Amino acid sequence: MAITIALAGNPNCGKTTLFNQLTGSNGYVGNWPGVTVEKLEAPWRKNKDVVITDLPGIYSLSPYSPEEVVSRDHLVKDRPSAVIDLVDVTNLERNLYLTTQVLECGLPTVVGLNMCDLLEKSGDQLDVDALSSELGCPVVKGSALRSQGLDQLMGTAESLATTGRTGRAPRVFSPRVEKAIQETADVLKPHLSAGQPERWFAIKAFEGDEKALDTLGLPAASLAAIGTIRAGVEAELDDDAESIITTERYDWIEGVMRRCVVKAPKALTTSEKIDRVVTNRILGLPIFVCVMVLVYYLAVSTVGTWGTDWANDGLFGDGWFLSPAAAQSYEEAQGAYDDEDYGTVVDEYLAAADAAGVDTDGVAEAIESGDAARVQAFAEAASAAGVTVPDAPLHDADGNFLDSEGNVVLTDAEDDPLLSDGQTLAYHDTIDAEAFLAAANAEEPIPGEYGVYVPGVPVVVEGWLDDAGASELVKSLVLDGIVGGVGSILGFVPQMIVLFLLLCFLEDCGYMSRVAFVMDRAFRRFGLSGKSFIPLLVSSGCGVPGIMATKTIENDRDRRMTVMLTTMIPCGAKTPIIALLMGVLIGGTEGWWIAPFFYFLGLAAVIVSAIMLKKTKPFAGEPAPFVMELPAYHLPALKSYLLHVWERVWAFIRKAGTIIFVACVGVWFLSNFGVAGWDSGSGAFGFLPEMADAPENYMNWSMLAGVGNAIAWIFAPLGFGTWQAAACSLSALIAKENLVSTFGVLFGLGEVGEGSALLWATFAQMFTVGGTLSLGAMLAFVAFNMLDAPCFAAIGTIRRQMADTKWFWAAIAYQCGFGWVVGLIINQLWELFALGNFGFWTVVAILCLAGIIIQLFRPMPRATEKPARQEA
């Protein structure tokens, strides 16, 4: 039979390093059933029959935290063949506290002393043999980081496991308490089955630990007998049983420390010196701000974004250059080409020639295919007919008219340019046949000529599909549905790598607990933890790594709340939506205040939600205890550190391959399949791009449009109950910026950018009723899409991070519900005050607003649940 060895120890005792050293780090990460505590299991590198389980880092085997419950259940119920209790010798006193409890589980146990090299450096001396006889079990010296003593440690554990030899747990309590424990054991004995450790259950029963007692199912008489024993000791020692046990454990350890350790005179350690500066009353905050700015700068605005741009535009886009110099010269050539505005020259000249009666059939195609003879023939004919175009206005890449300064000229709804005072349009001078020929024959720069150009995945896949003779349907599914959808999500991977390189470093070196220390006071006010700050900061770049960053929050309630709220901070993909709104409102996307303003609104949404949720049942109760170790600073071991980063990134990639994959294919299916002319026509169902009579913007016939129609009523009170608005919101689930492109497609504008004035005008039209722009509806639409469920990538990450279906749906429901209510309030109040409309939904909106305000300002309700413990 395989040998199972459990690895127990305090947080920060080097357990993960040891685990990685022993297993070669191909650990399987999973969750313990029912809780969000991670479980690591892997075979020993030197003997595959030995399976090592890494228990969560814990300080005690109390019944109060999921980590502790999972660990004690593993030791007491699953009964591993042996236990390695890893102890950080630089912090021996507190580490031995867990050791005394592990030894009571009655399993073959070896104590591994870690970081012995650091102990020697400090000058302290430890008598290992004396410690071994005090603890009644083998003790092995070593250092996981330097791979010292590992073979001896595992050898001891393996032989203990095969012989099954358990030592006698040390009698750590005072004679009076030991007597009471013996009496308790006598009461329990008839009810224990084989393999249930008597001493462990006796102590837990004496403490009144209900979780442990429940597993035994004792009759009432036994419980009463134990209660009497406990009450006697409690009266005698004037304390509760749990405190007596804890105090006496530490008292015994103090004795052990005196007998086994000779302490060198204590000098100020490097770690203490660092901490004096880093969490200094005056310098603490500025240093914290600098670290956060650095994280944000590297992960969100520079290196991370470069990586993501490369992945999105290069790897999952057209392609990329190997050398930056080639990329630059290509961009310059492309820029020069764009500046010439050849497209406008050709279009304007063809239009003029057509008007003058010159045959233009097939000329555009001839230019496309490089049929120089046909183009030349046309140019000669046009020239002979004397076709010239005076003063053709200049366009930019988004199709906007430009003025002579190069600024965008706004158009009105009829598409006529609106010039402000002193603004004049920029013109091409007269276009004649010669200029036309030059434009028609101008060649767009070809990337391959500027250096080694690697085609992107979609280009390569398209090539394969073409070679294999795949149908349009298959091509669309693979390219738009799978490569496009999953690719847009995998595009975040480089950014996540950068982010986790930084966050894992902060965590592994010990600064993360200082972040919580510094920020605790500010965030506790809103019912969040000091550690919630980092997820919120990261989410302003991308919600996916933001949600992943919540991993460092140990408290379940705080972590869930942060996961729920962090995507309300506007991420990078939401900026095109903001730009679209600003285009309508202020006629431009420039303005330094726009981004900070929306971040502020997002932060306000988070704070309002946090305060409200804190007063609801699932989040209510005592504030999470903030009793936190501030571990000594140290440089993380490179290998463990990199593994730590990789584990987090890999967890995300796996998700992209499953839930996100299915969701993307689903939305692709909805938007490409439909009923021909479902609003009027033949009613045949099929693949729309290939349907003979489908209009150019075939999405109008798609099932997505149908679904949009079916759910549009939900948004009617928010003022945007059109199927287009609903369909835009749906497609925004793949990626938030899709809202803008889908909008363009639905309104037949083609692939336009958010900088297009035409798009702004159309967007404003969608919310124009009877000639008036319904500002409330437009703001409600934007607010809803900012606050509702995030993109599939983030939704998938929420699912993973919650590790609980109920919590996951609760989070999605809250996000959508909150977005809807905010949209409702905005639109109804606007209608009330601007239009004087008053109706049923106005009342609902006012009630919602009142509800939010009451929930915000009512006092915290008294916690109804008492702590688990009850005195017998």
Partner 1 sequence: MTLAEVPIGGECTVVKLTGDGAVKRRIMDMGITRGTRVTVIKVAPLGDPLELAVRGYELSLRKADAATIEVSQ
Q: Which two tokens stand for residue 332?
A: 């310059």
From the list 278-286, 556-564, 646-654, 673-681, the region that binds partner 1 by CB under 8 A is 278-286
Residues 610-669 that bind partner 1 (CB under 8 A): 622, 625-632
Task: Give the nearest distance from C-beta 607 to partner 1 in angstroms.
Answer: 17
Task: Give the nearest distance from C-beta 211 to partner 1 in angstroms.
Answer: 12
372-384 and 433-441 are packed helices; what angle lies between their axes, rounded to 10 degrees? 170
* CB nearer to partner 1: pick between 96 and 594: 96
Q: Which of 522, 635, 835, 843 binds partner 1 (CB under 8 A)?
A: 522
Task: Give the nearest distance from C-beta 119 to partner 1 in angstroms.
Answer: 12
* CB nearer to partner 1: pick between 117 and 520: 520
Task: Give the nearest distance from C-beta 163 to partner 1 in angstroms.
Answer: 32
* CB nearer to partner 1: pick between 132 and 247: 247
Task: Give the nearest distance from C-beta 619 to partner 1 in angstroms.
Answer: 16
Q: Which of 82, 92, 363, 394 binds partner 1 (CB under 8 A)?
A: 92
Residues 207-266 that bind partner 1 (CB under 8 A): 239, 242-243, 246-247, 250-251
Q: Which of 20, 23, 143, 279 binds partner 1 (CB under 8 A)?
A: 279
From the list 36-44, 516-524, 544-552, 555-563, the region that binds partner 1 by CB under 8 A is 516-524
* CB nearer to partner 1: pick between 514 and 800: 514
Task: Give the nearest distance from C-beta 103 to partner 1 in angstroms.
Answer: 16
Task: Give the nearest distance from C-beta 153 to partner 1 in angstroms.
Answer: 24
Burial class (CB in 10 A: 0-12, 13-18, 19+), 832: middle
Residue 18 corresponds to which amino acid? L
**Residues 829, 838: Cα–Cα separation, whole Å:** 9
Count of residues binding partner 1 (CB under 8 A)?
A: 46
Residues 424-443 that bind partner 1 (CB under 8 A): none
DSSP for 798-823, please give it. HHHHH--HHHHHHHHHHHHHHHHHHH
SS3 787: helix
Residue 94 touching partner 1 (CB under 8 A): yes
* CB nearer to partner 1: pick between 271 and 329: 271
The CB density around residue 204, as the number of other CB atoms within 10 Å, is 27
Residue 43 corresponds to which amino acid? P
* CB nearer to partner 1: pick between 632 and 643: 632
* CB nearer to partner 1: pick between 280 and 471: 280
Task: Give the nearest distance from C-beta 625 to partner 1 in angstroms.
Answer: 4
* CB nearer to partner 1: pick between 36 and 60: 60
Residue 280 touching partner 1 (CB under 8 A): yes
Q: Which of 496, 518, 547, 791 binds partner 1 (CB under 8 A)?
A: 518
Q: What letter does residue 734 receive in the DSSP assignment?
A: T
- CB of 545 within 8 A of CB of 299? yes
Instruction: Catalogue the E-assigned strands of 221-315.
Output: 261-262
Task: Give the nearest distance from C-beta 617 to partner 1 in angstroms.
Answer: 18
Task: Give the nearest distance from C-beta 116 to partner 1 in angstroms.
Answer: 16
Residue 34 corresponds to which amino acid? G
Q: Is the dihedral of CA 346, 347, 352, 356 positive or negative?
A: positive
Task: Give the nearest distance from C-beta 133 to partner 1 in angstroms.
Answer: 23
SS3 375: helix
Q: Which of 11, 38, 41, 97 binds partner 1 (CB under 8 A)?
A: 97
Residues 286-305 that bind partner 1 (CB under 8 A): 288
* CB nearer to partner 1: pick between 596 and 859: 859
**Residues 785, 574: Cα–Cα separation, whole Å:** 9
Closest by CA to 248, choosing from 174, 149, 165, 344, is 174
**Residues 161, 55: Cα–Cα separation, whole Å:** 17
Task: Give the nearest distance from C-beta 404 to partner 1 in angstroms.
Answer: 54
DSSP for 106-166, please give it. -S-EEEEEE-HHHHHHHT-EE-HHHHHHHHTS-EEE-BTTTTBSHHHHHHHHHHHHHHT--
* CB nearer to partner 1: pick between 41 and 239: 239
CA angle, 355 then 357 then 359, to 5° = 110
- CB of 172 within 8 A of CB of 178? no
CA distances from 713 to 137, 709, 720, 721, 840 (A): 71, 8, 9, 6, 15
Say which residues have a Cβ less than 8 Å from residue 865's Cβ, sequence separation at least 6.
Answer: 621
**Residues 548, 654: Cα–Cα separation, whole Å:** 14
* CB nearer to partner 1: pick between 596 and 867: 867
* CB nearer to partner 1: pick between 284 and 588: 284
Residues 537-556 that bind partner 1 (CB under 8 A): none
- CB of 472 within 8 A of CB of 687? yes
* CB nearer to partner 1: pick between 35 and 665: 35
State residue 393 phi and psi, 5-degree precision: -70, 150
From the list 93-101, 489-497, 599-607, 847-855, the region that binds partner 1 by CB under 8 A is 93-101
From the list 272-280, 439-447, 488-496, 651-659, the region that binds partner 1 by CB under 8 A is 272-280
Residue 680 corresponds to which amino acid? S
Residue 121 touching partner 1 (CB under 8 A): no
* CB nearer to partner 1: pick between 197 and 530: 530
Q: What letter does residue 631 receive in the DSSP assignment?
A: P
- CB of 651 within 8 A of CB of 469? no
Q: Is the dihedral of CA 724, 726, 727, 728 positive or negative?
A: positive
Q: Is the dihedral of CA 247, 250, 252, 258 positive or negative?
A: negative
- The continuous run of DSSP H or E covering 455 comes out as strand 453-455
From the list 197-205, 275-283, 565-573, 820-828, the region that binds partner 1 by CB under 8 A is 275-283
Task: Give the nearest distance from C-beta 863 to partner 1 in angstroms.
Answer: 11
Task: Give the nearest distance from C-beta 91 to partner 1 in angstroms.
Answer: 5
From the list 91-99, 220-228, 490-498, 784-792, the region that binds partner 1 by CB under 8 A is 91-99
* CB nearer to partner 1: pick between 235 and 373: 235
Which phi-psi region, left, alpha or beta, contains residue 510 (left: φ > 0; alpha: ψ -120 to 50)?
Answer: left
Residue 517 touching partner 1 (CB under 8 A): yes
Residue 806 touching partner 1 (CB under 8 A): no
* CB nearer to partner 1: pick between 209 and 348: 209
Closest by CA to 533, choosing from 558, 509, 508, is 558
Q: Which of 129, 193, 265, 281 binds partner 1 (CB under 8 A)?
A: 281
* CB nearer to partner 1: pick between 70 and 366: 70
Q: Which two tokens stand for residue 328?
A: 């630059």
- CB of 184 within 8 A of CB of 216? no
Q: Which of 2, 231, 277, 285 binds partner 1 (CB under 8 A)?
A: 285
b/e sequence 423-454, b meaning 16+ C-beta within 10 Å: eeebebeebbbebbbebbeeeebebeebbebe
Q: Which of 54, 275, 403, 788 binds partner 1 (CB under 8 A)?
A: 275
- CB of 404 within 8 A of CB of 371? no
Task: Give the nearest distance from C-beta 240 to partner 1 in angstroms.
Answer: 8
Residues 30-89 that bind partner 1 (CB under 8 A): 59-60, 62, 64
- The continuous run of DSSP H or E covering 786 comes out as helix 775-787
* CB nearer to partner 1: pick between 259 and 654: 259
Q: Please report, as ranges, the residues that interact with partner 1 according to CB under 8 A.
A: 59-60, 62, 64, 91-94, 97, 239, 242-243, 246-247, 250-251, 275, 279-282, 284-285, 288, 513, 516-522, 524, 622, 625-632, 866-869
